[in-house]
Structure 1
Amino acid sequence: MQIGIDRLGMYSPHFFVDLKDLAEARGVDPNKFIIGIGQSEQAVAPSSEDVVTMGANAAAEFIDDIDTSKVGLVILGTETGIDASKSGAVIIQRLLGLPEWVRTYEIKQACYGGTAGLMTARDYVAAHPDKTALVIAADIARYGLNSGGEVTQGAGAVAMLISANPAIMTINDDSVFMSRDIMDFWRPVYTDLALAKGKYSTEQYIKFFDDVWARYQQQTGLTLDDFAAVNFHLPYTKMGLKAFWTALPEVSEDKQTALLDAYQESTVYSRRIGNIYTGSLYLGLVSLLENDGHVQAGDRLGMFSYGSGAVGEFFSGELQEGFARFLHADAHREYLDSRQRLSVAEYERVFNNKVPYSADDYSADPQYLSGRYVLTGVENQERQYEERPE
């Protein structure tokens, strides 16, 4: 039985800061951000956006086109949870109008949470082939204003419906994964700002890729020649390239060129949205499928997932006949082009205007409400969500 991704949706806040503007405000050569890091724009999440609203908005792209009575599992992969006990998945279930006879929960392992959810959903469908599973990878990456990681912030979500006989891509049963207890990146419970050892984290990312890729080749007998493209977890678009360069010498120059061309297409959306942690690998997949005119049915795609702390996994998928009919390329491009560009000063105001780490009531600024689902505020320590007219 083939199992994989039947539907794909994505969402990112309606506001962004141009990284040329940010570089100039920080007294940095813009090319350091645009070329050196590989980022052009960065999504900015107002306080009316969290992983619940973004995840629900991503799933809303296809929720009205599927049989929701078949959904038996909802998983939210995130490292930007809204509560230390209650999962955001159960709120997403309610907002989307899904049946109550659904298992819902949240998974955390840094940027690996989306892949953990995907693989769990695959196993669920294997045991329940008449059911589907909704997996949402959503995050808001925050390092702080004027911090070393400021240029690698971002916000967004990717939603995936997992089913038997999927319309978009099968998930092959060929995963290689590994875990090591390291301190390259973490976020203590008392803050929404991440702590990172930048150089060390990059080294570990590359090391994990090299190790799982070598073992994957040993176990499957496959090489880069067997792949039409390889997608990477993208904290910033140059990160994946640093790992990819270690494997590319294995193939001919013509194949290297083809793979690098595909890689660039997989980074189009990330370059404009920024880091979305658990969703970054899958944002790259959406970008590849919607921007690369060369990938076609039957192509094998590689997927490298990494979550600091750390877990790495490499697996593959195969594109299905007619997959392009279930994408939203035009709508995504139009949406990204229609976003509101913030000045650096306004970006800083929005960044600092956040739901407080306290028991105080809070109201979101109404001028920044956007999307079908929004967080209007907090009353008596309960988050208030609302569905807005489309």
Structure 2
Amino acid sequence: MNIGIDKISFFTPHLCLDMAELAEARNVDPNKYLIGIGQSKMAVIPPTQDVVSMAANAADKILTPEDKEQIDMVLFATESGIDNSKSGAVYLQRLLGLKHQVRVVELKQACYTATAAIHFAHGHIAMNPDSKVLVIGADNARYGLATKGEPTQGGGAVAMLISRDPQILAIQDDATYWADDVMDFWRPLGFDEALVDGKYSTNVYLEFFKHVFKEYQDNTGFDISKFDAMLFHLPYTKEGFKALKIAIEDADPTVAARLTHEFENVRRYSNQIGNLYTGSLYLGLLSLLENSTDLKAGMRLGLYSYGSGAQGEFYSGLLRPGFDQNIEHEAFQKVLDARKQLSVAEYEDVYNSRIKISDKTRKLDISTDPAKFVFAGVEDYQRQYVVK
């Protein structure tokens, strides 16, 4: 039975920041951001959007009434959780109008858990072939103003519908994975911003890739020529390119050129959004599907998932017949181009206006947020969502 990604969509808010302008405000050479980390713009998350509202906006684009009737599990992957007890998934059950006969769970292991969710969904559907599972990867990457991590911020949500006979990508049973307890990135309870050892984290990311990709090759007998595109978790796009260079180090020049060309399609959207944590790898998939003109059914995609702390995994998927009929080329680029670009001062105001843990009751002005689902504030610590 083929099981995999039947539908995929993405949401990021209507605001962005130009990285060259940020560099100038921070007295940094703009090329350090534009070339050094490979980012041109950064998504800015207004206080009226959080992981739940962003997830709802992403999922709403792809779900039909028939899908909602068949969904019996929602797996919500995030490291930007809004409650230590209540899952983001249960909010979605109501906001999206899903039936009550559904399992709702939130998953956490840094940026890795959307991948874990896909595999959990795969196993569920193998036992329940008529089911569908909604998988969410939603996050708001925050490191603080004028910090080393600031240029790798971003945010948004990826929504994927997992089913049998998928229209887009059939997940293969070939995953290899590697875990180790390391302190490259963490966010203690009560902290609104992440802590990170950036250089160490990059080294761990690359070492984990070497482990899982070598084991994958040993297990399957596949070399790099078996892949038509390679996708990576992209905390910033240059990091994925470093992993790609490891993968193609001894490749035939024609193979290396093809994979390098497709990587430009993989990273195109991330270059304009920034870090998505759990959704990053799968934004790369959407970007590849919408921007590549060379993909064909049956092609094998390699996917490297990484979550700090740390967990790495490599697996593959095969493009399904007719996958291109469900993809509109450069569709999301139009959304990105329509965003409002903020000045650095405006971005800093937005950054500092987020609701705090200590806010017991606070109402937000939702009039300037054009999204369908918005976060309207808190009443007695209870989060309020509005469907426009």
**TM class by shorter-chain length?**
over 0.9
Query: What is the DSSP-based 3-state SS (H/G/I as helix, E as strand, rest coil) of the residue aligned with 1:249?
Result: coil
Partner of 2:165: 165
Query: What is the DSSP-based 3-state SS (H/G/I as helix, E as strand, rest coil) of the residue aligned with 1:34?
Result: helix
CA contact (8 A) 1:375 1:383 kept: yes
Q: Which amino acid aligns with 2:214?
A: A
Query: What is the DSSP-based 3-state SS (H/G/I as helix, E as strand, rest coil) of the residue aligned with 2:191?
Result: coil
Partner of 2:292: 292
Q: Matched residues in 1 for 2:342 and 2:65: separation?
A: 34
CA deviation string 1:142-183 (max 9, x = no partner): 000000000000011110000000000000000001111111
Partner of 1:99: 99
1:65 CA drift (Å): 6.5
Q: Matched residues in 2 for 1:117 and 1:255: separation?
A: 31
Mean Cα deviation higher: 329-338 or 308-317: 329-338
Query: What is the DSSP-based 3-state SS (H/G/I as helix, E as strand, rest coil) of the residue aligned with 1:148?
Result: coil
Q: Matched residues in 2 for 1:66 and 1:255: separation?
A: 42
CA deviation string 1:51-89 (max 9, x = no partner): 101111111111137431110110100000000000000
CA contact (8 A) 1:8 1:327 kept: no
Q: Matched residues in 2 for 1:356 and 1:266: separation?
A: 35
CA deviation string 1:113-148 (max 9, x = no partner): 111111111111111001110000000000000000
1:332 CA drift (Å): 1.3
Report the aligned-residue RMSD.
1.0
Is 2:232 the partner of 1:232? yes
Partner of 1:337: 337
Partner of 1:316: 316
Q: Matched residues in 1 for 2:19 and 2:149: separation?
A: 13
Mean Cα deviation higher: 366-375 or 200-209: 366-375
Q: TM-score by structure 1 length?
A: 0.98
CA deviation string 1:87-123 (max 9, x = no partner): 0001011111010000001000000011111111111
Q: Matched residues in 2 for 1:134 and 1:298: separation?
A: 24
Q: TM-score by structure 2 length?
A: 0.98
5+ residue gaps, structure 2: none
CA contact (8 A) 1:46 1:368 kept: no
CA contact (8 A) 1:16 1:44 kept: yes
Is 2:264 the partner of 1:264? yes
Partner of 1:176: 176
**Percent identity among equivalent residues?**
50
Is 2:140 the partner of 1:140? yes
1:269 CA drift (Å): 0.4
Q: Matched residues in 2 for 1:309 and 1:61: separation?
A: 33
Q: Matched residues in 1 for 2:43 and 2:367: separation?
A: 16
1:370 CA drift (Å): 2.7
Query: What is the DSSP-based 3-state SS (H/G/I as helix, E as strand, rest coil) of the residue aligned with 2:182?
Result: coil
Query: What is the DSSP-based 3-state SS (H/G/I as helix, E as strand, rest coil) of the residue aligned with 2:248?
Result: helix
CA deviation string 1:209-254 (max 9, x = no partner): 0000000001011111000001000000000111121121221111
Partner of 1:199: 199
Aligned residues between the structures: 388
CA contact (8 A) 2:67 2:132 kept: no
Q: Which amino acid aligns with 1:207?
A: E
* Closer, same or farther: CA 359–249 of 1 in aligned 2, 3 Å: closer
Partner of 2:60: 60
1:1-390 matches, cutoff 5 A? 1-64=1-64, 66-388=66-388
1:329 CA drift (Å): 3.8
Q: Which amino acid aligns with 1:343?
A: S
Q: Matched residues in 2 for 1:45 and 1:146: separation?
A: 17
Q: Matched residues in 1 for 2:23 and 2:47: separation?
A: 24
Q: Matched residues in 2 for 1:250 and 1:61: separation?
A: 42
Q: Matched residues in 1 for 2:264 and 2:292: separation?
A: 9
